[in-house]
Amino acid sequence: MSQEELNYILKMLDEGSFSKAAEKLYTSQPSLYLQGKRLRATG
């Protein structure tokens, strides 16, 4: 797991939603969702 992936996960947990986390990370909600989906697939 990369540092960026870890940051995404932590921000999603901290904010409680993909939308809020995406806003804080300056990325789109669909992009963040797909990143989370990829992480789950690689387990």
pLDDT in tens, the chain (43 residues): 788 888 888 998 999 988 999 999 999 999 888 888 888 888 6
Token pair listed for 19: 């939308």
Q: Residue 31: which domain range?
A: 3-42
3-class secondary structure, 43: coil
Whole-number pLDDT of residue 37? 86
Nearby residues of 2 by Cβ (< 8 Å), 6 or more positions away: none
Indicate the number of domains in the chain.
1
CA distance 32 to 11: 10
Amino acid at 17: S
